[in-house]
Structure formats: structure tokens, C-alpha cells
Amino acid sequence: MSTHREPPPDDRHYPVRKTEAQWQAELDPMQYRVARQAATERAFSGKYWDHYAPGQYLCVGCGTVLFEARTKFDAGCGWPSYWAAVDGEVVERVPDASHGMRRVEVRCRRCGSHLGHVFDDGPAPSGERFCINSASLTFAPDTP
């Protein structure tokens, strides 16, 4: 597991703001390390990497719906992968030059929680692959 940033230095531009003590009380240790410190869970270790039930994936920090199960695909990378977020307004894209790489970090636009990264090697129709940590997500199954 790697960490490349501390909690967002200025959460004032996110609508959902909590103290670090509140984040730590609400999230389990892995969720906190990933969502608030931008750590990465080990590949093939998260609870959603091979999960394909119908429903929606929500931000662990604030409950915002981020991804639909219908956009999930097996990228073979060991993390949940989606070809699109529910819309362009729910995620924030942040340049990330950590670990000697140029990537695009994905954060929840409402609370600033680190979700993972987005790459341009995904399937049609978007051509994008949102590579997301399970620890950053909760799941809400479709109800009949």
C-alpha cells in the first residue's frame, strides 16, 4: 500500500467538510488511509474488484453515487474498474505526479475523498478506465 498525499490541504471548496477526528471515527482504518490519505489497497484484495451485482457504488465518505454497476468491467488489474462515472459532476480529476508517474487522480467532488485514478485505456464508449479502490466505495444494490 502506498501513500502519496496527506488529506486534502484545503477542504473548504468541498461541500462536505469534516475534521480529521470525524473522518477517523466514521471510516475503518483502511478506508481512512485510502480515502483521506490517498493510499492504495493491494490488487485483488478489495471487496468490489470482482463484484458484479446490479446497483450503484457510492463514496464511502459522503454517500454520493459515483458509479453504476452497468459501467463496471473486468480490466484484469485487481481493482474495480468502470468506463464512466454517473456523470461528469460527481468526480474531480487532479493531476498526480507521485511515484515518478504522470497520472490523473480521481476524488469525490463533494467530500474530496481519494477514489483512485483514471486512465485512457478503457473500453468504448468512453475509452476511459476509472481504476477505483474498493475501500473508497460502498454498494447499494438495485431493489426489485
pLDDT tens column, 59-105 = 999 999 999 999 999 999 999 999 999 998 999 999 888 778 888 99
Q: What domains are there in the chain, each with its CATH number?
A: 18-141 (2.170.150.20)
Chain centre to alpha carbon of residue 12 = 20
Pick the catalytic residue: 59, 108, 111, 131? 131
pLDDT, average across residues 114-137: 96
Query: At residue 4, does pLDDT exceed 70?
Result: no
Instruction: State the average pLDDT over residues 44-51.
Output: 96
Question: Which helix or strand (DSSP H or E) is residue 36 part of?
Answer: helix 29-37
Pairing verdict, β 137-141 and 114-119: unpaired
62 counts as catalytic: no
Residue whose C-alpha is closest to residue 127's, from 73, 51, 80: 73
Burial of 88 (0-12, 13-18, 19+ CB in 10 A): exposed
Predicted model pTM: 0.90
